[in-house]
Structure 1
Amino acid sequence: MVRLTLDLIAKNVGHKSRNEDDFGQYLQKITHLNLSDKNIDTIGVLSFCKNLKVLYLYDNQISQIQNLDFASNITHLYLQNNCISSIENLSSLKKLEKLYLGGNYITVVEGLDKIGEIRELHIESQHLPLGEKLLFDPVSLRSLAKSLSVLNISNNNIDELEELAVLENLSYLKAVDNQLQHMKDLKVVLNKWTKLRRMDLTGNPICQKPKYRDKVVVQSQTLESLDGKEIKEMERQFLMNWQASKTARKKSNERMTDEADSETSHPALAFHHSPSVEEKPNFLVLSQKHKIERKPLPRIRERKSQMKAQVEEASKVKAEGS
């Protein structure tokens, strides 16, 4: 294994002067230092590099973040694909803007609460214990709330995003190949992320849900790209109109159902309005239902026959008497 030392730096930057003073002055001037893929396992003393802004240490064997107290001017730190298990010793990097830690052994995102205003955090594809997911320290999340713009958490077995809702300035979320599957969880964060422009959830179970893309586009008014595909304003407007129409129909159906239930509960109210032809009640049915009894009409013909018989009987009696 190799320890990061001044000799290694001199060798890799190609400084040929044997004068230590010249080399010291050179180190004070450099702003970019590329020591990637050098089989380095320990970060040595780099205190001479006071003006260093960008440090490349990816693809090494580094197990601990250390000896960066001098690096108050660093803005970009590349530590991906090492053996780091803890985010630590970064409090001196007050100007750090972009931190790359993908492909390490980190299980908890922490230790970021004392850094200045970091804008990008790349912590994808951690080597996690079987069945575990990447966790987030609430203190660190709150410290990143107003500054973090880009977050890459891909391939970390993450199954929910609600705790990330505090990241109010997030403009790009990359969370591919995780375990996100609930639309209601996604709606919570989309309501909070009012500056979100790009989001990539490719490879999550939620992407297979019916109308997944339509629902996301309607939910986020600021999103310009979803899963690598541009969202055009015509598409959003069409979906919003469709959603508004669907909501209106649902409310109308609910109102009609409520009215029907009300009439069923209070039959006497059913005919308070003037019924149309279709609504006129069947009085025959109502008569039978309520058993309306009608008195029989007089039998006119029978009555006439009786009167005629009486007249004939009276005439007969009168004739016999005379």
Structure 2
Amino acid sequence: MSLFCSPVKKMTRITVDLIRKKSEHNDGILENLEEISLHQLNIQRIEVLGSCCKHLKILYLQNNLIPKIENLRKMKELVYLNLALNNVKLIEDLQSCESLEKLDLTINFIPIKNLEKSIDGLQNNHRLKQLFLSGNPCCEFKGYRKFVVGSLPWLESLDGKKISKSERILASQDLLTIKS
């Protein structure tokens, strides 16, 4: 008889030590760190980054186990956030990320019922130009693209597809119909 033991993946916490280790390119100096990659580490919670990396511009957190966007309020200089391939169900806690231009939430678990609340959570992110939501259950909603384009008129592309002027006008005209 053969017994199979699947390897248990260790959960990783974001700590100052981990950030220092991953920021060797910056000699481990966190105060002026602008970019960090914390992907594929089985991270379940976003923590510590907002307090020790206030000047972070690019944050790679893709392919982890993160269910909730949190603890990013102090990251006012964050330009690009990659949370693709996680367990996110709602876009939240990004209102203070006033420099955010690109947000990647490809292949997460944002359902149709959370789409309106998620997009409302981006209403203060007027610099957001690129949003990636493909692969989420909410994308199956027939009026998904029109709803997002109409709700965020400053977006330039959605799911890697450029938003034309005519698409934007039609989306804003149809927004009330889509919401009901």
TM-score (norm 2): 0.72
Say which SS state the counterpart of residue 11 (structure 1) adopts. Answer: helix
Q: Which runs of 5+ in 1 are unaligned?
A: 18-22, 155-168, 173-187, 194-322
Identity %: 33
Match of 1:14 among 7, 17, 24: 24
Q: Between Structure 1 and Structure 2, whose CA radius of gyration is higher?
A: 1
List aligned pairs for 1:109-120, cutoff 5 A: 109-110=118-119, 111-120=121-130
Deviation at 1:133, TM superposition (A): 2.9
2:155 equivalent to 1:148: yes
1:133 aligns with 2:127: no
Stretches of structure 2 that go unaligned for 5 or more consecutive residues are: 1-10, 172-180
Classify the secondary structure of the residue corresponding to 2:122.
coil
Identify the residue that residue 170 of structure 1 maps to in structure 2. Answer: 163
Structure 1 residue 138: Cα displacement:
9.0
How far apart in 2 are the matches of 1:137 and 1:191? 13
The higher relative CO (CA closer than 8 Å, separation ≥ 6) is in 2
Counterpart pick for 1:38 among 26, 41, 53:
41
The structure whose residues are more often helix, as a share, is 1
Given that 2:37 and 2:60 are in contact with CA atoms closer than 8 Å, whether structure 1 keeps it comes out as yes
Say how many residue pairs are matched: 153
Relative to structure 1, the CA distance from residue 139 to residue 91 in structure 2 (aligned partners, 3 Å threshold; closer, same or farther) is farther
| Paired position in structure 2 for 1:175 | none
* Residues in 2 aligned to 1:62 and 1:69: alpha-carbon distance in whole angstroms: 17
Q: Deviations over 1:207-233 (max 9, x none)?
A: xxxxxxxxxxxxxxxxxxxxxxxxxxx
Is 2:60–2:82's contact at 8 Å kept on the other side of the alignment?
A: yes
CA contact (8 A) 2:37 2:59 kept: yes
Asked whether the equivalents of residues 59 and 81 of structure 1 are also in contact (C-alpha less than 8 Å), the reply is yes
Q: Give the RMSD, CA atoms, in angstroms.
A: 3.3
Structural mapping, 1:1-322, within 5 Å = 1-14=11-24, 26-46=29-49, 47-107=51-111, 108=115, 109-110=118-119, 111-126=121-136, 128=137, 133=141, 136=144, 141-142=149-150, 144-145=152-153, 147-152=154-159, 170-171=163-164, 189=167, 192=170
What do residues 260-308 of structure 1 show as CA deviations (whole Å, max 9, x unaligned)? xxxxxxxxxxxxxxxxxxxxxxxxxxxxxxxxxxxxxxxxxxxxxxxxx
CA–CA distance in 1 between the matches of 2:132 and 2:26? Answer: 36
Q: Report the TM-score when normalising by structure 1.
A: 0.42
